[in-house]
Amino acid sequence: MENPQMPGQPMPAQPPPQQQPMPAQPQPQAGPAGGAPIAHEITHGPSFAMLRVDLQPGQTVIAEAGSMVARNQHVDMEVKMNAGRGAGFFAKLKAFFIAMIRKVVGGETFFVNHFSAPQPGSVWVAPTLSGQIAYRRMNGETLVLSSGAYVAHSGDIDLKMKFGGLKSLLMKEGAFMLEISGVGDLWFNSYGGIHAIDVNGTYVVDNGHLVGYEGNLTYTMKSAGGGMMGLVASGEGIVAEFSGQGRVYIQSRNLSSLVSWLTGIMGG
Amino acid sequence: MQVEIGYRPAHSMARVMLQPNEAVVAESGAMVGMSTNVHMQTQSGGLMKGLKRMFGGESFFRNTFTAQGAAGEVLLAQSLPGDMVTLDMTPNGYFIQSSSYVASTPNVNIETKVGGFRSFFAGEGVFILKATAEGPGQCLVGAFGGIQELVCDGNLVIDTGHLVCWDSTLEYSVGKSGAGWIASFLSGEGLVCHFRGQGRIWIQTRNPSEYGTTVGRMLPPAG
């Protein structure tokens, strides 16, 4: 990492605990918006994290298609296309097209599985790549995740697929971002460990390491060293410069670096 | 045989300590290091048995390591990053996903079985191993990612790509994960294993073939 400065959070010397420190969670009250937080446990972090969600009758957890490891037999699984809650016909059509484009572009399709239990039951979920899972209780704020980072959610949460615009095409990842808002539980994953950075002012993050950021932050894409020379020679490629006040999540490894390393040794 | 597993969970390695003239059987290629008085013998157990093993996704050969004259040790590791666990043999034995087998005491009989995983596109699990032993023995299995032991009390449904091994007291059947084939396909869960009865199941927190497919399709075609 080119910038040794870590405002907000010191780099953990020890392997981080199963869960990153998160903003204080609200105490479950009688009928809070988005439902009470769902009982869950994240195990086997930071390298091979797996999430177990313990469902009570009436609770539903929604997870990315294909991520289920195991479930109790009586836990119902229903596959749905994620078009956002209460989406109209055109919104659904749009979601369908985005799902198809993403399939072609090489992302996952955006089908999700709804798990619910008529009697208490568990479902175990794990991402494909090695890495950590983080939990965050959403309280009405907006979080933008890179599209591969989504694991699961519950409650009154809206997921919207966002095309990052032309500038995002410069980046290998992140042409599609996932905008998450509402009240409820959210689980997301990283390739490598998840590191939270509390930005107050500005901060620069390598694009391939970006997991997500809070919606009140703004960013601009730029070359790390400034200009073409910096872009080509520094090996850092495109970076995102965030400004404002809010949290950025980064991952300690970068998938495109692994892929280009493998590509290099496979060549010839 | 005494087993000590270090470097868990990401890059586990087993140190097998053998008494004089004690032996351990290991999957070909699993040996990392050994004492000089440990003698290695390669055996296929007969052509047919070897071929059957190959179909089962393991290697044709297995190696027997014997400590000669004095105590000795063998270090064993699997090829993928992940955890390992030692199973104490039970009267009923275990079913083991074939790529998870690492080593066992010589009295453990390992048979390759057709898993009843009817589908040919299952990827894993068309063949599985059944480990049985008369009397006490041990079996060492490895996983891709972390290992989690689940206790099946009635019913559990598990993705076939995440299975490591399970008590053979459990009844199992392989099927689609959703209500219909289309729903199963869209759900992305592929094939799942339905378990009934009482017993333990060990799962791995990552799916090797899914990982390989995901990384593989980002690579240029091999030439």
Rounded Cα distance between A211 and B31, Å, is 39
Reduce the DSSP state of residue A268 to 3 states and report it. coil
Model confidence at B73: pLDDT above 60: yes
Mutation target among A48, A100, A256, A262 for the B interface, most CBs of B within 10 A: A48
Across A102-106, B100-104, B159-163, least confident range = A102-106
pLDDT of residue B210: 87
CB-CB under 8 Å, B214 with A126 = no
- Tell me how many helices (H) and strands (E) chain A has: 3, 14
Of the spans A205-214, B76-85, B105-114, B186-195, which averages the highest pLDDT?
A: B76-85
User: Pick from A126, A192, A132, A188: which is nearest to A157 by CA?
Assistant: A188
Mutation target among A54, A67, A69 for the B interface, most CBs of B within 10 A: A69
Model confidence at A242: pLDDT above 70: yes
List domains and CATH numbers for chain B. Answer: 2-216 (3.60.160.10)
CB-CB under 8 Å, B188 with A111 = yes
How many residues are listed for chain A in this entry?
268
Model confidence at A55: pLDDT above 90: yes
Residues of B whose CB is below 8 A from A69: 158-159, 162, 203, 205
Edge-to-edge strands, sheet with B23-27: B38-43, B62-67, B23-27, B101-104, B138-142, B84-88
Across A132-136, A261-265, B23-27, B48-52, least confident range = B48-52
Point out the residue among B179, B189, B205 whose CB comes nearest to the CB of A126: B205
CB-CB under 8 Å, A106 with B146 = no
- Would you say B169 and B92 are in contact if contact means Cβ atoms under 8 Å apart? yes
CB-CB under 8 Å, A65 with B186 = yes
Rounded Cα distance between A73 and A61, Å, is 16
CB-CB under 8 Å, B219 with A259 = yes
Model confidence at A19: pLDDT above 70: no
Domain segments of chain A as ranges: 39-266
CB-CB under 8 Å, A128 with B206 = yes
CB atoms within 10 A of CB A107: 18
pLDDT of residue B126: 59
Question: Does B71 or B46 have the greater pLDDT score?
Answer: B71
- Whether residue B10 lies within 8 A of chain A, CB to CB, comes out as yes
Instruction: Give the model confidence (pLDDT) of B14-26 as tens digits.
Output: 999 999 999 999 9
Q: Name residues whose C-beta falls within 8 Å of residue A82's C-beta, 6 or more positions apart in sequence.
A: A62, A95, A110, A111, A112, A159
The Cα of B218 is separated from the nearest Cα of chain A by a number of Å equal to 7
> What is the token pair recorded at B129?
């191993």
Point out the residue among B155, B177, B186 whose CB comes nearest to the CB of A74: B155
Mutation target among B149, B171, B218 for the A interface, most CBs of A within 10 A: B218
CB-CB under 8 Å, B189 with A48 = no
Q: Give me the interface pTM, i.e. the ipTM.
A: 0.85
Rounded Cα distance between B162 and A67, Å, is 11
Secondary structure element (H or E) that encloses residue A123, with its range: strand A121-125
Per-residue pLDDT, averaged over B127-143, amounts to: 92
Rounded Cα distance between A200 and A219, Å, is 13
Mutation target among A54, A68, A129, A172 for the B interface, most CBs of B within 10 A: A68
Instruction: Give the model confidence (pLDDT) of B76-113 as tens digits.
Output: 999 899 999 999 999 999 999 888 999 999 999 988 87
Question: Does A149 or B178 have the greater pLDDT score?
Answer: A149
Specify the CATH number of the domain A39-266. 3.60.160.10
Per-residue pLDDT, averaged over A170-176, amounts to: 56
Per-residue pLDDT, averaged over A61-69, amounts to: 91
Mean pLDDT, all residues of chain B: 85
Can you give the pTM of this predicted structure? 0.83
CB-CB under 8 Å, B211 with A70 = no
Residues of A whose CB is below 8 A from B183: 78-79
Contacting B residues, span 172-211, partner chain A, CB-CB under 8 Å: 177-179, 183, 186-190, 194, 203, 205-207, 210-211
